Amino acid sequence: MHDHDEASVGGAPFSGRGMPSAGASWAGRLATSAEGIYGLIIVAGMIVVSRNLTASSGDALISVVTTLLVFFAAHVYSSAVSWMARGSERRSLGEALAHGVGESSGMIVVGAVPVVILLLGVIGVLRDADAVWLALGADVMLLGLLGWFIAASRSDSLWVRLGSMLVTAAFGGVLIALKALVHH
């Protein structure tokens, strides 16, 4: 099977590389979207700048959720406006906003994982500091997994997949550190 040929496995597109293609699921498309990746970077950056890494998980949760919602709204708006401007046919505001939500929802979906971990700290399942560090670690791990899955859709090589995973996680870590520096 060629790289661009897709078969169907259980109704989902299959890339022929031992895994469903990036377009195989709604969650997969959202996770690998620019907004999904950006959402992870925003979440991690806000965890880092929520005073410090030993701040309460509640402080970090409020900071993360507030910032994520503001950036989500900005992305929905910018996507809706640019979509309306691109089309030659008349598009309603409702259609444009629905398009914007669809384009931007990766930010919320992927960002939900660290948010849930922070919530576990707020309700007392995890200690505050543990929740903050675990949420940050999960965020960087998710970035690495995205790198792995993106490379896996393009290459059979374990080394390429591992390299992509490490580069994506490291790049995310550098962006998180830069975001923390800018906010301090």
Residue at 130 is within a domain: yes
Give a yes or no: residue 162 inside a domain.
yes
Parent domain of 117: 7-21+35-172
Tens of pLDDT, residue by residue over 33-51, are 778 888 888 888 888 777 5
Per residue in 63-118, pLDDT (tens digit) is: 889 999 999 999 999 999 999 888 778 888 899 999 999 888 888 888 899 999 99
180: in domain: no
In contact, 99 and 79? CB cutoff 8 Å: yes
Structurally, the chain folds into a number of domains equal to 1
Q: Is residue 182 part of a domain?
A: no
pLDDT tens-digit series, residues 115-173: 999 999 999 999 988 898 899 889 888 888 888 888 888 899 999 999 999 998 888 77
Residue at 75 is within a domain: yes
Among residues 184, 179, 64, 67, the alpha carbon closest in space to that of 132 is found at: 64
- What are 9's strand-pairing partners? 12
Q: Is residue 51 part of a domain?
A: yes
How far apart CA 30 and CA 62 sit, in angstroms, is 23
pTM greater than the 0.75 cutoff: no
Q: Is residue 60 part of a domain?
A: yes
pLDDT score, position 23: 43
Residue 139 included in any domain? yes
Region for residue 80 given its phi and psi (left: phi exceeds 0; alpha: psi -120 to 50; beta: otherwise): alpha
